[in-house]
A and B are shown apart, each in its own frame.
Chain A
């Protein structure tokens, strides 16, 4: 037995070949970067799709040069058809929610930094880890394939509501093989995320360094751990939902299609299925997915803020418990996406109450940030600016959630731009700000080089002002009755809102364009940036205790021992106003 258990947890040797080093790598750091890279490709693809939509909304008759070659049926003569608009909308939502908001803050940064921050050499199951990325990559390709088949991408939105998504081309273009590819892609994606979540949980539970008690883990490690727990349950539900949808499409079963449904003058050959069943299964995943996107960002931003404030949070413990409460409550609220589905009004009340309850831990987290920032001598840099921007977006986007959580108000606002504004701010842009904050903060560690601060600050201000210009007016549009998912508003009662739409579109082009500054900064700094020291931000957690970038086995053969909680700032240490987690010195209180 001793002989057996004396083996180290990870026995894979350093890779020698290019393929093993950079492509099929077992190293969690390479896999983290691969996830990040995939998210980067997905986010720019999704952003171009949103540009096409915003362009078409305000100049519906103007040709988009070259588009007719990319989408022959969808944009004849370069003008987007209403159906193709919906296809773009579906793909934009799917790419952004799954391949960006799930991939970058959770799988990307989490893979890279979770093992390091707990003092492990790698994930618990490196092979599963590699599989999880490549499975996700295949899911990405399968999804994009929908652009290149004659059927085109599906028009059913990222929520793929049945029966629209379940009856094939009778219901519109893209709903045959386009929808099949969508469901296959998401099912494959689920497998990747399940493998990833399993790894995160097992690694956190089993591979912590000596002295690294659970409450000594950094807040972002906690966030990734809680997110993994949510993901494990959420994707385990979405996976069978997608499989049942595929069976309805390909095998003729009737899980989601009701009896007697006539579409395009054809009686659909299904009987007895329940369209609401799809909504229940989808949103049972879908609402926790919101927290899968936002919790890692909350963790990253807290980590960045503490390091920049040079003092601990008011209460890291309460913040962690609040994240756990959000995770727990996320399972009780899926019905608030279905207030207009015709379900029993008493059910709406039951879902409304826990939804409003979620605002309590969310508010506690915000108050902890604001209370900690009060009087702090904040170091202003690109990372901390984006962290502050995240707090701003989280509050601005979260406040509209109070309204939407109440069925009587949601019924009016549900199908309008108000909801679009709400989720773009609180889930989309806020999480993206978290990703940016993490990128500026950890790039020196990941690449060994610093990013350009001037470009970073320019990027922040354009993005911050730009996103407010785009998404705040959405709320007004919604209250004015502007319905969502329409491809043009020129000739109807929404025509007076067109000037505002034009303003939004121009803001979207400028803000999107500003992301090229980030891309340039990222690529240029990777090769030409100033060399980064081991600990450029004077952080305390374990990722700052090694060279930048870290060696192959993270700690260079060293087995770190942890003596402190991760936020010993504002003290008198031998290196400055902080003491590292793995330093045995006892810090003296500075004031």
Chain B
């Protein structure tokens, strides 16, 4: 009846997981992907109603894309600097600097999206003007909300690094960086959807 191996299997152990959860950020990314997949599928259904028009992308959104791409680069530099600091126990000045740059760029992106909404409004395109404008605001608004979550993560990291230096969990930094890169990839996807479908 009992035919099991009676030695513990070499699976994930407490000490390996001690740096915090590595899966959480990927699970979160999966859920956010599903959120935007749902809105994209809603777009496909809604497009069949016959009142579809076209919106040209506000030009500032291209500049915003560049800003977000650079911020991905800076957080990567910050992550690497932090990784080195944690390994050597040395100062984290470079990590802090790149982290600050990422924060500024992230906030710049949000400000840029706000200017894009202003431009749309100036063209007479509001949330309820037509289905295209509705989806444009929903996509960009939802993305900014998720990005603000990333900015909150950056602020938390900055505070922790400032207070505690190298006492920070390595995973916290890596997970925030992964999330931030995902925000960039998500934005590229949305830009393509907006450009092609709206």
Evaluate whether A206 and B38 lie within 8 angstroms (CB atoms) in the complex, with A4-B168, A254-B128 already known. Answer: no
Give Cα A252 to B12, complex, Å: 51
Residue of A nearest to B12 (CB): A208
Q: Is B124 an interface residue (CB 8 A)?
A: no
Residues of B with C-beta under 8 A to A211? 8-9, 11
Residues of B with C-beta under 8 A to A543? none
- Is B35 touching A274 in the complex (CB atoms < 8 A)? no
- Is A7 touching B18 in the complex (CB atoms < 8 A)? yes
Q: State which residues 1-36 of B face A: CB under 8 Å.
A: 1-2, 4, 6-9, 11-14, 17-24, 27-28, 30-32, 34-35
Give Cα A521 to B19, complex, Å: 43
Q: State which residues 3-25 of A face B: CB under 8 Å.
A: 3-9
Quick one: which of A3, A212, A564, A571 contacts B89, CB cutoff 8 A?
A3
Evaluate whether A206 and B22 lie within 8 angstroms (CB atoms) in the complex, with A1-B87, A241-B38, A584-B6 already known. Answer: yes
Q: State which residues 33-76 of B face A: CB under 8 Å.
A: 34-35, 38-39, 41-42, 45-46, 48-51
| Total A-B residue contacts, Cβ distance less than 8 Å | 176
Evaluate whether A207 and B4 lie within 8 angstroms (CB atoms) in the complex, with A3-B166, A4-B86, A244-B42 already known. Answer: no
Quick one: which of B11, B19, B50, B89 contacts A272, CB cutoff 8 A?
B50
Give Cα A589 to B23, complex, Å: 39
Q: How distant is B35 from chain A, measured CB to nearest CB, in Å?
A: 5
- Is B14 touching A564 in the complex (CB atoms < 8 A)? no
For chain A, which range describes its interface: under 10, 10 to 19, 20 to 34, or 35 or more residues?
35 or more
- Is B138 touching A239 in the complex (CB atoms < 8 A)? no
Which listed segment binds B: A196-204, A412-420, A466-474, A501-509?
A196-204
Residue among B17, B34, B87 having the largest count of chain A Cβ atoms under 10 Å: B17
Residues of B with C-beta under 8 A to A237? 34-35, 38
Give Cα A312 to B4, complex, Å: 13
Q: Is A172 an interface residue (CB 8 A)?
A: no
Residues of B with C-beta under 8 A to A4? 19, 86, 166-170
Residues of B with C-beta under 8 A to A6? 18
Q: How distant is B124 from chain A, measured CB to nearest CB, in Å?
A: 15
- Is B34 touching A5 in the complex (CB atoms < 8 A)? no
Q: Is B151 an interface residue (CB 8 A)?
A: no
Q: Is B127 an interface residue (CB 8 A)?
A: yes
Main secondary structure of the interface of A (DSSP, over half): loop
Give Cα A87 to B180, complex, Å: 44
Residues of B with C-beta under 8 A to A244? 39, 42, 138
Residues of A with C-beta under 8 A to B27? 197-198, 201-202, 232
- Is B45 touching A559 in the complex (CB atoms < 8 A)? no
Quick one: which of B14, B21, B49 contacts A210, CB cutoff 8 A?
B14
Residues of A with C-beta under 8 A to B38? 236-237, 240-241, 281, 284
Residues of A with C-beta under 8 A to B100? none
Evaluate whether A8 and B18 lie within 8 angstroms (CB atoms) in the complex, with A251-B128, A253-B127, A589-B1 already known. Answer: yes
A54-83 Cβ-contact flags toward B at 8 Å (1 or 0): 000000000000000000000000000000
Q: Is A86 an interface residue (CB 8 A)?
A: no
Q: How distant is A86 from chain B, measured CB to nearest CB, in Å?
A: 27
Give Cα A209 to B13, complex, Å: 6
Give Cα A211 to B167, complex, Å: 30
Q: State which residues 80-95 of B face A: CB under 8 Å.
A: 83, 86-87, 89
Residue of B nearest to A252 (CB): B128
Residue among B30, B42, B46, B138 having the largest count of chain A Cβ atoms under 10 Å: B42
Give Cα A570 to B51, complex, Å: 68
- Is A1 touching B86 in the complex (CB atoms < 8 A)? yes
Q: Is B142 an interface residue (CB 8 A)?
A: yes
Q: State which residues 178-199 of A face B: CB under 8 Å.
A: 194, 197-199
Evaluate whether A272 and B1 lie within 8 angstroms (CB atoms) in the complex, with A7-B169, A202-B21 already known. Answer: no
Give Cα A88 to B48, complex, Å: 36
- Is B134 touching A198 in the complex (CB atoms < 8 A)? no
Q: Is B131 an interface residue (CB 8 A)?
A: yes
Quick one: which of B22, B35, B134, B166 contacts A255, CB cutoff 8 A?
B134
- Is B8 touching A210 in the complex (CB atoms < 8 A)? yes
- Is A206 touching B46 in the complex (CB atoms < 8 A)? no
Residue of B nearest to A211 (CB): B8
Q: Is A568 an interface residue (CB 8 A)?
A: yes
Residues of B with C-beta under 8 A to A281? 38, 41-42
Residues of A with C-beta under 8 A to B19? 4-5, 7
3 cross-chain pairs, A with B, having the tightest CB-CB distances, nearest first: A211-B8, A236-B34, A272-B51
A-B contact pairs, 20 of them (CB 8 A): A3-B89, A4-B19, A4-B166, A7-B19, A124-B23, A203-B21, A211-B11, A213-B9, A232-B30, A233-B31, A239-B35, A244-B138, A254-B128, A259-B51, A271-B51, A272-B49, A274-B48, A277-B46, A281-B42, A568-B4
Please report B residues at the A interface, Cβ cutoff 8 Å.
1-2, 4, 6-9, 11-14, 17-24, 27-28, 30-32, 34-35, 38-39, 41-42, 45-46, 48-51, 83, 86-87, 89, 127-128, 131, 134, 138, 142, 166-170
Besides A236-B34, A564-B4, 18 other A-B contacts (C-beta < 8 A): A3-B167, A5-B170, A124-B23, A198-B27, A199-B24, A206-B23, A214-B11, A236-B31, A240-B38, A240-B39, A244-B39, A247-B134, A255-B134, A258-B49, A271-B51, A274-B48, A281-B41, A284-B38
